[in-house]
Amino acid sequence: MIIIGYVNYNCSDSINSSIISVGDNAMCVVCDNSGNYNNIYNVKVVCPKSNIGLYNGFNYIIKSLSKINYNWFLASNPDIEYNYDFFNQLKKNKNKHQVIAPSIISNLTGHNQNPQILKRPTKMKMKIYSLIWNNYYLGVLYIYISFLVRKLKTKVGDTNISNKIYCPHGSLVIYSKFYLDNNNGLEHPTVLFGETIEIAEKCRINKIDIIFRPTLKVFHAEHVTTGLLRPKNVMKLQGESAKYYYDKYWN
């Protein structure tokens, strides 16, 4: 059984578009962080008492389904749409001990957003990231430079090789039940950002593979959730997360 989790924060329309692309191939569950999800497809909805953040929202879903037997949990952005053969391809995956990074095709650039990070960053690189994200103007500059670099790079060869990677792109990550049962679900120490770094480090420490599977294809209406230019309060959260992970795993 496949379960897809969504976290709603004023994005009902995007979630419902994604649910259409799922069809009857999976069970969809929404954690309604903003209390205003428009449940037109009568999916299961769980409601925390407040906005508990993205990955803690996914974890809230997982806890609510503790009595359901499933193989895969998909932590999905609301702006993901699934390719026609995605679920058939996922069912072919026999190793239930993995975390999987699918092909995520950005609507902004046409590029595959996976693999997000192939190899573990150095301490110096993580220190630089922490400094960038803790300065609003440096953060904005970094976002736009990164976007331009992605627009200009070639598409050739960026989607064809299946291999082990360090970190998946966070807009859609596929978790085996084995991973969730052995890593305290998807409980997350910060409100927003850095979720996949936490996952990557848990996998590294516990020797669980993160595998890029290019045959699993989805489409990402990028930045519907957070926007390309983020407000200062959101950038502040990103800075806090960057510092937290640097201090926890690299310092």
Lowest-confidence region among 19-23, 37-41, 190-194: 190-194
* Residues in CB range of 95: below 8 A, 6 or more apart: 176, 209, 211
What structural domains and CATH numbers belong to the chain?
2-250 (3.90.550.10)
Place of tokens 């996922």: 90
Place of tokens 């020797």: 207
**Residue 143's pLDDT is what?**
87
- Cα separation of 34 and 73, whole Å? 22
Place of tokens 């702006």: 79
In percent, how much of the chain has pLDDT > 70?
94
In percent, how much of the chain has pLDDT > 90?
68
pLDDT digits (tens, 9 = 90+) for 62-114: 999 988 999 999 999 999 999 999 999 999 887 777 899 999 999 888 889 99
**Residue 228's pLDDT is what?**
63
Whether the pLDDT of residue 127 is over 70: the answer is yes
Pair type for strands 80-82 and 163-164: unpaired
- Mean of pLDDT values over 220-238: 76
- Cα separation of 199 and 173, whole Å? 10
pLDDT digits (tens, 9 = 90+) for 173-226: 999 998 998 888 998 888 778 899 999 999 999 899 999 999 999 999 986 555
Nearest C-alpha neighbor of 28 from the set 87, 84, 93? 87
Token representation of residue 27: 């069970």
**Residue 132's pLDDT is what?**
93
Contact 240, 194 (CB under 8 A): no
| pTM attached to this predicted model | 0.91
Considering the chain, what is the average pLDDT of its residues?
90
- For residues 179 and 227, the model is more confident at 179
